[in-house]
Chain A
Amino acid sequence: MHVDWINSIIQGVLLGGLYAMIAAGLSLIFGVMRLVNIAHGDLIILAAYLGLTVASALGLYPLTALLIVVPVMAVIGYGLQRIVLNNTLSDDILPPLLVTFGLSVIIQNGLLEIYSADPQKLDAGQLGVASTNVAGISVGLLPLLMFVTAVVVIAGLQWIFYRTALGRAFRAVSDNQDVAQLMGLNKRHVYGVAMALSLAVVALAGIFLGMRTSFDPSIGGGRLIFGFEAVIIGGLGNLWGTLVGGVILGVAQNIGAQINPGWQVLAGHVVFLFILAVRPRGLFPRMTG
Protein backbone atom coordinates (compact mmCIF):
# COMPACT_ATOMS: atom_id res chain seq x y z
CA MET A 1 0.00 0.00 0.00
CA HIS A 2 2.67 2.44 1.13
CA VAL A 3 4.87 1.69 -1.88
CA ASP A 4 1.89 2.16 -4.20
CA TRP A 5 1.46 5.72 -3.04
CA ILE A 6 5.13 6.60 -3.42
CA ASN A 7 5.03 4.94 -6.80
CA SER A 8 2.09 6.98 -8.02
CA ILE A 9 3.71 10.20 -6.79
CA ILE A 10 6.88 9.38 -8.70
CA GLN A 11 4.92 8.50 -11.83
CA GLY A 12 3.00 11.75 -11.38
CA VAL A 13 6.20 13.78 -11.19
CA LEU A 14 7.48 12.16 -14.38
CA LEU A 15 4.14 12.72 -16.14
CA GLY A 16 4.41 16.33 -15.03
CA GLY A 17 7.42 16.63 -17.32
CA LEU A 18 5.19 15.98 -20.33
CA TYR A 19 2.65 18.52 -19.12
CA ALA A 20 5.42 21.05 -18.61
CA MET A 21 6.64 20.47 -22.17
CA ILE A 22 3.09 20.99 -23.45
CA ALA A 23 2.79 24.12 -21.35
CA ALA A 24 6.21 25.63 -22.11
CA GLY A 25 5.37 26.40 -25.74
CA LEU A 26 2.05 27.90 -24.71
CA SER A 27 3.72 30.04 -22.06
CA LEU A 28 6.43 31.21 -24.45
CA ILE A 29 3.92 32.49 -27.01
CA PHE A 30 1.76 34.19 -24.45
CA GLY A 31 4.82 35.83 -22.92
CA VAL A 32 6.19 37.20 -26.18
CA MET A 33 3.02 38.28 -28.00
CA ARG A 34 0.04 37.93 -25.62
CA LEU A 35 -1.44 35.31 -27.92
CA VAL A 36 -3.42 32.45 -26.43
CA ASN A 37 -2.98 29.61 -28.88
CA ILE A 38 -6.15 27.51 -28.75
CA ALA A 39 -4.71 25.23 -31.44
CA HIS A 40 -1.68 24.35 -29.30
CA GLY A 41 -3.05 20.94 -28.24
CA ASP A 42 -4.02 20.05 -31.80
CA LEU A 43 -0.58 21.05 -33.02
CA ILE A 44 0.85 18.56 -30.52
CA ILE A 45 -1.34 15.83 -31.99
CA LEU A 46 -0.34 16.97 -35.49
CA ALA A 47 3.30 16.54 -34.44
CA ALA A 48 2.52 13.04 -33.14
CA TYR A 49 0.93 12.06 -36.47
CA LEU A 50 3.82 13.62 -38.34
CA GLY A 51 6.12 11.45 -36.23
CA LEU A 52 3.99 8.44 -37.08
CA THR A 53 4.23 9.13 -40.81
CA VAL A 54 7.95 9.86 -40.74
CA ALA A 55 8.69 6.83 -38.55
CA SER A 56 6.69 4.39 -40.66
CA ALA A 57 7.69 5.83 -44.06
CA LEU A 58 11.41 5.89 -43.32
CA GLY A 59 11.44 3.05 -40.81
CA LEU A 60 12.81 5.31 -38.11
CA TYR A 61 12.57 4.99 -34.36
CA PRO A 62 10.17 7.72 -33.08
CA LEU A 63 12.92 9.59 -31.22
CA THR A 64 15.07 9.58 -34.36
CA ALA A 65 12.09 10.94 -36.29
CA LEU A 66 12.42 14.03 -34.08
CA LEU A 67 15.32 15.06 -36.30
CA ILE A 68 12.76 15.62 -39.05
CA VAL A 69 9.62 16.48 -37.07
CA VAL A 70 11.21 19.24 -34.96
CA PRO A 71 12.47 21.31 -37.92
CA VAL A 72 9.28 20.68 -39.91
CA MET A 73 7.11 21.88 -37.01
CA ALA A 74 9.38 24.91 -36.53
CA VAL A 75 8.98 25.86 -40.19
CA ILE A 76 5.21 25.37 -39.93
CA GLY A 77 5.26 27.64 -36.87
CA TYR A 78 7.20 30.39 -38.62
CA GLY A 79 4.97 30.25 -41.69
CA LEU A 80 1.78 30.15 -39.63
CA GLN A 81 2.86 33.20 -37.68
CA ARG A 82 4.01 35.24 -40.67
CA ILE A 83 1.11 34.34 -42.98
CA VAL A 84 -1.82 34.06 -40.57
CA LEU A 85 -1.33 34.95 -36.93
CA ASN A 86 0.60 38.21 -37.32
CA ASN A 87 -2.45 39.64 -39.06
CA THR A 88 -4.60 38.91 -36.02
CA LEU A 89 -2.41 40.66 -33.44
CA SER A 90 -3.55 44.02 -32.15
CA ASP A 91 -4.57 45.53 -28.83
CA ASP A 92 -7.65 43.32 -29.04
CA ILE A 93 -6.95 39.78 -27.75
CA LEU A 94 -10.12 38.33 -29.28
CA PRO A 95 -9.09 37.93 -32.97
CA PRO A 96 -6.13 35.59 -32.26
CA LEU A 97 -8.38 33.51 -29.97
CA LEU A 98 -10.97 33.11 -32.71
CA VAL A 99 -8.44 32.40 -35.43
CA THR A 100 -6.53 29.79 -33.41
CA PHE A 101 -9.86 28.21 -32.45
CA GLY A 102 -10.66 27.94 -36.16
CA LEU A 103 -7.21 26.54 -36.75
CA SER A 104 -7.88 23.93 -34.08
CA VAL A 105 -11.02 22.80 -35.90
CA ILE A 106 -9.16 22.69 -39.22
CA ILE A 107 -6.28 20.60 -37.82
CA GLN A 108 -8.63 18.14 -36.10
CA ASN A 109 -10.70 17.58 -39.20
CA GLY A 110 -7.68 17.46 -41.46
CA LEU A 111 -6.14 14.73 -39.29
CA LEU A 112 -9.44 12.88 -39.19
CA GLU A 113 -9.61 12.98 -42.98
CA ILE A 114 -6.05 11.73 -43.46
CA TYR A 115 -5.54 9.33 -40.56
CA SER A 116 -9.15 8.39 -39.60
CA ALA A 117 -10.40 8.30 -36.01
CA ASP A 118 -8.57 5.07 -35.16
CA PRO A 119 -6.28 5.43 -32.17
CA GLN A 120 -2.60 5.26 -33.07
CA LYS A 121 0.56 4.83 -31.06
CA LEU A 122 4.20 5.47 -31.76
CA ASP A 123 6.13 2.26 -31.19
CA ALA A 124 8.61 2.97 -28.43
CA GLY A 125 10.00 -0.57 -28.68
CA GLN A 126 12.18 -1.72 -25.79
CA LEU A 127 12.26 1.75 -24.22
CA GLY A 128 8.49 1.63 -23.75
CA VAL A 129 8.71 -1.23 -21.30
CA ALA A 130 12.22 -0.87 -19.88
CA SER A 131 12.50 0.27 -16.30
CA THR A 132 15.08 0.82 -13.65
CA ASN A 133 14.80 0.02 -9.98
CA VAL A 134 15.23 2.91 -7.58
CA ALA A 135 15.04 1.93 -3.90
CA GLY A 136 12.55 -0.81 -4.55
CA ILE A 137 10.40 1.28 -6.85
CA SER A 138 10.33 0.55 -10.52
CA VAL A 139 10.70 3.67 -12.66
CA GLY A 140 10.00 3.47 -16.39
CA LEU A 141 12.88 4.66 -18.56
CA LEU A 142 10.58 6.38 -21.06
CA PRO A 143 8.83 8.55 -18.42
CA LEU A 144 12.24 9.28 -16.91
CA LEU A 145 13.64 10.33 -20.29
CA MET A 146 10.51 12.45 -20.82
CA PHE A 147 11.03 14.25 -17.55
CA VAL A 148 14.75 14.84 -18.14
CA THR A 149 13.90 16.19 -21.61
CA ALA A 150 11.36 18.55 -20.09
CA VAL A 151 13.93 19.89 -17.63
CA VAL A 152 16.46 20.36 -20.44
CA VAL A 153 13.84 22.08 -22.64
CA ILE A 154 12.87 24.48 -19.88
CA ALA A 155 16.48 25.19 -18.96
CA GLY A 156 17.17 25.77 -22.66
CA LEU A 157 14.24 28.17 -23.08
CA GLN A 158 15.26 29.95 -19.91
CA TRP A 159 18.79 30.32 -21.28
CA ILE A 160 17.54 31.61 -24.63
CA PHE A 161 15.21 34.06 -22.92
CA TYR A 162 17.69 35.56 -20.50
CA ARG A 163 21.14 34.95 -21.97
CA THR A 164 20.95 35.42 -25.74
CA ALA A 165 20.35 38.23 -28.21
CA LEU A 166 17.24 36.40 -29.42
CA GLY A 167 15.82 36.34 -25.89
CA ARG A 168 16.61 40.02 -25.51
CA ALA A 169 14.62 40.64 -28.69
CA PHE A 170 11.72 38.54 -27.34
CA ARG A 171 11.61 40.53 -24.12
CA ALA A 172 12.02 43.88 -25.87
CA VAL A 173 9.19 43.20 -28.32
CA SER A 174 7.04 41.96 -25.43
CA ASP A 175 7.76 45.16 -23.46
CA ASN A 176 7.16 47.70 -26.19
CA GLN A 177 6.59 46.85 -29.84
CA ASP A 178 7.08 50.36 -31.19
CA VAL A 179 10.37 51.01 -29.46
CA ALA A 180 11.58 47.52 -30.37
CA GLN A 181 10.95 48.43 -34.02
CA LEU A 182 13.09 51.53 -33.51
CA MET A 183 15.93 49.19 -32.51
CA GLY A 184 15.70 47.61 -35.95
CA LEU A 185 13.74 44.59 -34.76
CA ASN A 186 11.07 43.51 -37.21
CA LYS A 187 8.39 42.36 -34.81
CA ARG A 188 6.72 40.18 -37.44
CA HIS A 189 9.95 38.23 -37.80
CA VAL A 190 10.59 38.08 -34.04
CA TYR A 191 7.07 36.70 -33.52
CA GLY A 192 7.70 34.18 -36.29
CA VAL A 193 10.85 32.95 -34.58
CA ALA A 194 9.01 32.70 -31.25
CA MET A 195 6.28 30.57 -32.83
CA ALA A 196 8.92 28.41 -34.55
CA LEU A 197 10.54 27.80 -31.17
CA SER A 198 7.17 27.06 -29.59
CA LEU A 199 6.31 24.49 -32.24
CA ALA A 200 9.76 22.89 -31.97
CA VAL A 201 8.89 22.21 -28.32
CA VAL A 202 5.44 21.07 -29.45
CA ALA A 203 7.15 18.52 -31.71
CA LEU A 204 9.04 17.07 -28.73
CA ALA A 205 5.87 16.98 -26.63
CA GLY A 206 3.92 15.36 -29.47
CA ILE A 207 6.40 12.55 -30.05
CA PHE A 208 6.71 11.77 -26.34
CA LEU A 209 2.94 11.87 -25.95
CA GLY A 210 2.57 9.47 -28.87
CA MET A 211 5.12 7.08 -27.40
CA ARG A 212 3.47 7.14 -23.98
CA THR A 213 -0.19 6.77 -24.87
CA SER A 214 -2.36 6.18 -27.87
CA PHE A 215 -3.75 9.24 -29.60
CA ASP A 216 -6.46 10.15 -32.07
CA PRO A 217 -7.32 13.45 -33.79
CA SER A 218 -9.77 14.54 -31.10
CA ILE A 219 -7.60 14.55 -27.98
CA GLY A 220 -5.73 17.84 -28.58
CA GLY A 221 -8.23 19.91 -26.62
CA GLY A 222 -7.70 17.88 -23.47
CA ARG A 223 -3.90 18.28 -23.69
CA LEU A 224 -4.42 22.03 -24.15
CA ILE A 225 -6.35 22.15 -20.87
CA PHE A 226 -3.52 20.35 -19.04
CA GLY A 227 -1.06 22.80 -20.57
CA PHE A 228 -3.12 25.79 -19.48
CA GLU A 229 -3.47 24.40 -15.99
CA ALA A 230 0.27 23.83 -15.65
CA VAL A 231 0.97 27.40 -16.80
CA ILE A 232 -1.59 28.93 -14.45
CA ILE A 233 -0.57 26.84 -11.43
CA GLY A 234 3.07 27.77 -11.95
CA GLY A 235 2.37 31.45 -12.56
CA LEU A 236 2.18 33.18 -15.94
CA GLY A 237 5.50 33.98 -17.52
CA ASN A 238 7.62 31.81 -15.23
CA LEU A 239 9.08 28.81 -17.06
CA TRP A 240 10.41 26.98 -13.98
CA GLY A 241 7.03 27.66 -12.38
CA THR A 242 5.48 25.94 -15.38
CA LEU A 243 7.55 22.83 -14.65
CA VAL A 244 6.37 22.88 -11.04
CA GLY A 245 2.81 23.39 -12.29
CA GLY A 246 3.12 20.38 -14.58
CA VAL A 247 4.49 18.24 -11.75
CA ILE A 248 1.70 19.28 -9.36
CA LEU A 249 -0.89 18.46 -12.01
CA GLY A 250 0.72 15.10 -12.81
CA VAL A 251 1.00 14.12 -9.14
CA ALA A 252 -2.59 15.20 -8.44
CA GLN A 253 -3.85 13.10 -11.35
CA ASN A 254 -1.92 10.02 -10.31
CA ILE A 255 -2.96 10.28 -6.67
CA GLY A 256 -6.55 10.72 -7.85
CA ALA A 257 -6.22 7.60 -9.97
CA GLN A 258 -4.73 5.74 -7.00
CA ILE A 259 -7.80 6.52 -4.92
CA ASN A 260 -10.21 5.70 -7.69
CA PRO A 261 -9.29 5.17 -11.35
CA GLY A 262 -12.21 7.37 -12.42
CA TRP A 263 -10.85 10.34 -10.50
CA GLN A 264 -7.63 10.81 -12.42
CA VAL A 265 -8.54 13.81 -14.56
CA LEU A 266 -10.98 15.19 -12.00
CA ALA A 267 -8.31 15.29 -9.26
CA GLY A 268 -6.06 17.38 -11.52
CA HIS A 269 -8.84 19.90 -12.20
CA VAL A 270 -9.76 20.10 -8.51
CA VAL A 271 -6.18 20.89 -7.49
CA PHE A 272 -6.01 23.46 -10.27
CA LEU A 273 -9.21 25.15 -9.10
CA PHE A 274 -8.01 25.08 -5.51
CA ILE A 275 -4.71 26.79 -6.39
CA LEU A 276 -6.52 29.29 -8.60
CA ALA A 277 -8.82 30.15 -5.70
CA VAL A 278 -6.01 30.49 -3.15
CA ARG A 279 -3.31 32.03 -5.37
CA PRO A 280 -5.07 33.55 -8.40
CA ARG A 281 -1.76 34.57 -9.98
CA GLY A 282 -0.26 31.10 -9.58
CA LEU A 283 2.39 29.86 -7.20
CA PHE A 284 5.33 31.75 -8.69
CA PRO A 285 4.08 34.78 -10.61
CA ARG A 286 6.81 36.60 -12.49
CA MET A 287 8.20 39.54 -10.58
CA THR A 288 7.16 42.80 -12.13
CA GLY A 289 9.12 46.02 -11.72
Chain B
Amino acid sequence: MADPLLTLTRLDAHYNDFQALFGIDFDIAEGEVVAIIGSNGAGKSTLMRSISGLITNGASQISYRGEQIGALRADQIAEKGIALVPEGRQLFPSLSVEENLLIGGQIGRSGPWSLAKIFELFPVLQERRDQASTSLSGGQQQMVAIGRALMANPDLLLLDEVSLGLAPVIIKSIYDALPQIVGGGMSAVIVEQDISKALSVSSRFYCLQEGRVSLEGESGSQTREAISRAYFGV
Protein backbone atom coordinates (compact mmCIF):
# COMPACT_ATOMS: atom_id res chain seq x y z
CA MET B 1 0.00 0.00 0.00
CA ALA B 2 1.15 3.51 -0.82
CA ASP B 3 2.20 5.85 1.95
CA PRO B 4 -0.89 7.12 3.70
CA LEU B 5 -1.92 10.74 3.23
CA LEU B 6 -2.94 11.18 6.86
CA THR B 7 -2.03 9.02 9.84
CA LEU B 8 -3.28 9.30 13.40
CA THR B 9 -1.11 7.57 15.96
CA ARG B 10 -2.53 6.85 19.40
CA LEU B 11 -4.48 10.10 19.26
CA ASP B 12 -5.99 11.37 22.51
CA ALA B 13 -8.23 14.42 22.73
CA HIS B 14 -9.50 16.31 25.72
CA TYR B 15 -12.05 18.99 26.51
CA ASN B 16 -10.60 20.45 29.69
CA ASP B 17 -10.71 17.54 32.14
CA PHE B 18 -12.88 15.37 29.99
CA GLN B 19 -11.11 12.91 27.71
CA ALA B 20 -13.09 12.38 24.51
CA LEU B 21 -10.72 10.23 22.43
CA PHE B 22 -8.47 7.39 23.60
CA GLY B 23 -5.56 6.17 21.49
CA ILE B 24 -7.12 6.39 18.05
CA ASP B 25 -5.08 4.81 15.24
CA PHE B 26 -6.29 5.78 11.81
CA ASP B 27 -5.00 6.26 8.29
CA ILE B 28 -6.27 7.28 4.90
CA ALA B 29 -4.52 6.97 1.54
CA GLU B 30 -4.52 9.41 -1.35
CA GLY B 31 -7.79 9.24 -3.29
CA GLU B 32 -9.46 7.07 -0.67
CA VAL B 33 -12.90 7.60 0.86
CA VAL B 34 -13.09 6.43 4.46
CA ALA B 35 -16.22 6.44 6.62
CA ILE B 36 -16.35 7.02 10.34
CA ILE B 37 -19.48 5.74 11.99
CA GLY B 38 -20.62 5.69 15.56
CA SER B 39 -23.48 6.81 17.73
CA ASN B 40 -23.96 10.22 19.32
CA GLY B 41 -21.12 11.10 21.65
CA ALA B 42 -18.79 8.43 20.30
CA GLY B 43 -16.19 11.07 19.49
CA LYS B 44 -16.66 11.44 15.73
CA SER B 45 -16.86 15.23 15.70
CA THR B 46 -14.02 15.47 18.21
CA LEU B 47 -11.93 13.44 15.81
CA MET B 48 -12.75 15.89 13.00
CA ARG B 49 -11.95 18.86 15.23
CA SER B 50 -8.61 17.27 16.14
CA ILE B 51 -7.59 16.62 12.55
CA SER B 52 -8.59 20.12 11.43
CA GLY B 53 -6.74 21.77 14.31
CA LEU B 54 -9.68 23.20 16.25
CA ILE B 55 -8.42 21.00 19.07
CA THR B 56 -4.64 20.93 19.31
CA ASN B 57 -2.93 17.64 19.99
CA GLY B 58 0.56 16.30 20.47
CA ALA B 59 2.55 17.13 17.32
CA SER B 60 3.40 13.51 16.56
CA GLN B 61 -0.13 12.20 16.97
CA ILE B 62 -1.22 13.49 13.57
CA SER B 63 0.97 13.25 10.51
CA TYR B 64 0.06 14.50 7.06
CA ARG B 65 2.25 13.77 4.03
CA GLY B 66 4.97 12.72 6.45
CA GLU B 67 4.82 15.98 8.38
CA GLN B 68 3.78 16.20 12.03
CA ILE B 69 0.84 18.58 12.20
CA GLY B 70 -0.86 17.69 15.49
CA ALA B 71 0.14 20.91 17.22
CA LEU B 72 -0.61 23.33 14.39
CA ARG B 73 -3.43 25.87 14.45
CA ALA B 74 -6.53 25.35 12.32
CA ASP B 75 -5.56 28.04 9.81
CA GLN B 76 -2.13 26.46 9.29
CA ILE B 77 -3.70 23.05 8.75
CA ALA B 78 -6.18 24.52 6.29
CA GLU B 79 -3.26 25.89 4.27
CA LYS B 80 -1.78 22.41 4.05
CA GLY B 81 -4.89 21.23 2.21
CA ILE B 82 -7.27 19.81 4.79
CA ALA B 83 -10.79 21.25 4.72
CA LEU B 84 -13.62 20.55 7.14
CA VAL B 85 -17.33 20.79 6.46
CA PRO B 86 -18.33 21.27 10.08
CA GLU B 87 -21.27 19.62 11.76
CA GLY B 88 -24.32 21.87 11.63
CA ARG B 89 -22.98 23.68 8.52
CA GLN B 90 -21.92 26.80 10.41
CA LEU B 91 -22.12 29.29 7.56
CA PHE B 92 -21.18 32.91 8.20
CA PRO B 93 -24.51 34.71 8.72
CA SER B 94 -23.09 38.15 7.85
CA LEU B 95 -21.87 36.91 4.50
CA SER B 96 -23.89 36.28 1.36
CA VAL B 97 -23.88 32.88 -0.32
CA GLU B 98 -21.21 33.98 -2.76
CA GLU B 99 -19.10 35.58 -0.02
CA ASN B 100 -19.28 32.37 2.01
CA LEU B 101 -17.87 30.52 -0.98
CA LEU B 102 -15.24 33.16 -1.71
CA ILE B 103 -13.94 33.13 1.84
CA GLY B 104 -13.43 29.39 1.49
CA GLY B 105 -11.19 30.10 -1.47
CA GLN B 106 -9.20 32.90 0.10
CA ILE B 107 -6.41 30.48 1.02
CA GLY B 108 -5.39 30.62 -2.63
CA ARG B 109 -4.54 26.95 -3.21
CA SER B 110 -4.76 26.07 -6.88
CA GLY B 111 -6.87 23.20 -8.11
CA PRO B 112 -9.98 22.29 -10.03
CA TRP B 113 -12.52 24.09 -7.82
CA SER B 114 -13.65 27.62 -8.48
CA LEU B 115 -16.83 29.64 -7.99
CA ALA B 116 -17.96 28.61 -11.48
CA LYS B 117 -17.37 24.91 -10.76
CA ILE B 118 -19.29 25.08 -7.48
CA PHE B 119 -22.21 26.74 -9.26
CA GLU B 120 -22.02 23.96 -11.85
CA LEU B 121 -22.18 21.33 -9.11
CA PHE B 122 -25.00 23.07 -7.19
CA PRO B 123 -26.84 25.29 -9.73
CA VAL B 124 -29.33 26.51 -7.14
CA LEU B 125 -26.54 28.39 -5.38
CA GLN B 126 -25.90 30.50 -8.46
CA GLU B 127 -29.49 31.72 -8.43
CA ARG B 128 -29.13 32.65 -4.78
CA ARG B 129 -25.57 33.91 -4.79
CA ASP B 130 -26.46 37.38 -3.45
CA GLN B 131 -28.83 36.21 -0.74
CA ALA B 132 -27.94 36.03 2.94
CA SER B 133 -26.74 32.52 3.69
CA THR B 134 -29.28 32.31 6.51
CA SER B 135 -32.17 32.68 4.05
CA LEU B 136 -31.46 29.34 2.39
CA SER B 137 -33.07 26.01 3.20
CA GLY B 138 -31.09 23.50 5.25
CA GLY B 139 -30.10 21.50 2.20
CA GLN B 140 -28.96 24.56 0.30
CA GLN B 141 -26.98 25.71 3.33
CA GLN B 142 -25.28 22.32 3.36
CA MET B 143 -24.38 22.81 -0.32
CA VAL B 144 -22.81 26.16 0.57
CA ALA B 145 -20.88 24.53 3.41
CA ILE B 146 -19.55 21.83 1.09
CA GLY B 147 -18.81 24.36 -1.65
CA ARG B 148 -17.01 26.59 0.84
CA ALA B 149 -14.71 23.71 1.81
CA LEU B 150 -14.13 22.73 -1.83
CA MET B 151 -13.17 26.32 -2.74
CA ALA B 152 -9.97 25.77 -0.73
CA ASN B 153 -9.07 23.00 -3.20
CA PRO B 154 -8.21 20.59 -0.39
CA ASP B 155 -6.43 17.28 -0.82
CA LEU B 156 -8.36 15.88 2.11
CA LEU B 157 -12.02 16.76 2.68
CA LEU B 158 -13.61 16.06 6.06
CA LEU B 159 -17.41 15.86 5.96
CA ASP B 160 -18.99 15.92 9.40
CA GLU B 161 -22.59 14.69 9.45
CA VAL B 162 -23.62 16.37 6.21
CA SER B 163 -27.02 14.65 6.27
CA LEU B 164 -27.96 15.71 9.77
CA GLY B 165 -31.43 17.24 9.92
CA LEU B 166 -32.04 17.06 6.16
CA ALA B 167 -34.88 15.42 4.24
CA PRO B 168 -34.00 12.08 2.58
CA VAL B 169 -34.41 13.48 -0.94
CA ILE B 170 -31.95 16.28 -0.12
CA ILE B 171 -29.51 13.82 1.44
CA LYS B 172 -29.65 11.76 -1.71
CA SER B 173 -28.90 14.74 -3.93
CA ILE B 174 -25.94 15.70 -1.77
CA TYR B 175 -24.55 12.17 -1.77
CA ASP B 176 -25.14 11.96 -5.54
CA ALA B 177 -22.73 14.88 -5.89
CA LEU B 178 -20.03 13.02 -3.94
CA PRO B 179 -18.53 11.04 -6.86
CA GLN B 180 -18.00 14.31 -8.76
CA ILE B 181 -16.27 15.74 -5.71
CA VAL B 182 -13.87 12.91 -5.00
CA GLY B 183 -13.53 11.89 -8.66
CA GLY B 184 -10.58 14.25 -9.06
CA GLY B 185 -8.43 12.20 -6.67
CA MET B 186 -9.39 14.05 -3.50
CA SER B 187 -9.46 11.96 -0.33
CA ALA B 188 -12.47 12.22 1.95
CA VAL B 189 -13.38 11.25 5.47
CA ILE B 190 -17.12 10.93 5.86
CA VAL B 191 -18.67 11.02 9.30
CA GLU B 192 -22.16 9.58 9.37
CA GLN B 193 -24.68 8.17 11.78
CA ASP B 194 -26.44 6.43 8.90
CA ILE B 195 -24.40 3.24 8.60
CA SER B 196 -25.68 2.00 5.25
CA LYS B 197 -25.17 5.41 3.64
CA ALA B 198 -21.65 5.61 5.00
CA LEU B 199 -20.69 2.11 3.91
CA SER B 200 -22.11 2.55 0.42
CA VAL B 201 -19.89 5.50 -0.45
CA SER B 202 -16.66 4.46 1.30
CA SER B 203 -14.04 1.80 0.70
CA ARG B 204 -13.09 1.38 4.36
CA PHE B 205 -14.67 2.36 7.63
CA TYR B 206 -13.88 2.89 11.28
CA CYS B 207 -16.49 2.55 13.99
CA LEU B 208 -16.06 4.62 17.13
CA GLN B 209 -17.53 3.85 20.48
CA GLU B 210 -16.95 5.91 23.58
CA GLY B 211 -13.83 7.49 22.16
CA ARG B 212 -12.19 4.30 20.94
CA VAL B 213 -12.08 2.46 17.63
CA SER B 214 -14.37 -0.51 18.18
CA LEU B 215 -14.22 -1.93 14.68
CA GLU B 216 -12.50 -1.21 11.39
CA GLY B 217 -12.32 -2.85 7.99
CA GLU B 218 -13.32 -2.74 4.37
CA SER B 219 -16.80 -1.38 3.94
CA GLY B 220 -18.24 -4.57 2.46
CA SER B 221 -16.42 -6.99 4.71
CA GLN B 222 -18.33 -6.90 7.98
CA THR B 223 -21.65 -8.40 8.89
CA ARG B 224 -24.49 -6.22 10.10
CA GLU B 225 -24.27 -7.89 13.49
CA ALA B 226 -20.60 -7.15 13.94
CA ILE B 227 -21.17 -3.52 13.03
CA SER B 228 -24.18 -3.22 15.33
CA ARG B 229 -22.15 -4.62 18.20
CA ALA B 230 -19.33 -2.18 17.52
CA TYR B 231 -21.79 0.67 17.11
CA PHE B 232 -23.96 0.14 20.17
CA GLY B 233 -21.56 -1.80 22.34
CA VAL B 234 -24.07 -4.50 23.22
Contact = CB atoms under 8 A, between A and B. Distances in A.
Interface in A135-193: 165, 168-169, 171-172, 174-176, 178-187
Given A172-B95, A175-B93, A176-B90, A181 B106 contact: no
A175 B94 contact: yes
- What bracket does the count of chain A residues touching chain B fall in? 10 to 19
Nearest to B53: A181
A168 B103 contact: yes
The 9 closest A-B pairs by CB, nearest first: A181-B74, A184-B107, A184-B78, A171-B94, A289-B134, A175-B92, A186-B75, A179-B90, A172-B92
A289 B95 CA distance: 11
B98 to A, nearest CB: 10
B104 interface: yes
Contacts of A289: 93, 132, 134-135
Nearest to B82: A182
B75 A181 contact: yes
Contacts of A181: 53-54, 73-75, 78
12 contacts: A165-B102, A168-B106, A171-B95, A175-B92, A178-B86, A180-B103, A181-B78, A182-B83, A183-B78, A289-B93, A289-B134, A289-B135
Contact of A172 (B86, B103, B107, B132): B103
Given A171-B94, A174-B94, A289-B132, A186 B106 contact: no
B106 A183 contact: yes
Interface in B86-115: 86, 90, 92-95, 99, 102-104, 106-107
Contacts, number: 70
Interface of A: 165, 168-169, 171-172, 174-176, 178-187, 289
Contact of A178 (B74, B76, B94, B103): B74
Contacts of B90: 176, 179
B47 interface: no
Nearest to B151: A183
Contact of B92 (A165, A179, A186): A179
B152 interface: yes
A169 B105 CA distance: 12
Contact of A185 (B75, B86, B135, B148): B75
Given A168-B95, A179-B90, 13 more contacts: A168-B103, A169-B103, A172-B92, A172-B94, A172-B95, A174-B94, A179-B86, A181-B54, A183-B103, A183-B152, A184-B78, A185-B103, A186-B76
A289 B134 CA distance: 7
A172 B106 CA distance: 12
Contacts of A183: 75, 78, 103-104, 106-107, 148, 152
B54 A171 contact: no
Contacts of A187: 75
A11 to B, nearest CB: 37
A176 B89 CA distance: 12
A182 B95 contact: no
B9 to A, nearest CB: 23
B211 to A, nearest CB: 21
B79 interface: yes
Contact of A171 (B92, B104, B135): B92
B106 A185 contact: yes
Contacts of B106: 165, 168-169, 183-185
Interface in B148-182: 148, 152
Interface string B33-75: 0000000000000000000111000000000000000000111
B224 to A, nearest CB: 35
A184 B79 contact: yes
A129 B95 CA distance: 46
Contacts of A168: 95, 99, 102-103, 106
B144 interface: no
B188 interface: no
**Residue among B94, B104, B134 having the largest count of chain A Cβ atoms under 10 Å:** B94
Nearest to B107: A184
A174 B152 CA distance: 20
A174 B74 CA distance: 17
B84 interface: yes
B137 to A, nearest CB: 15
A41 B3 CA distance: 58
Nearest to A190: B75
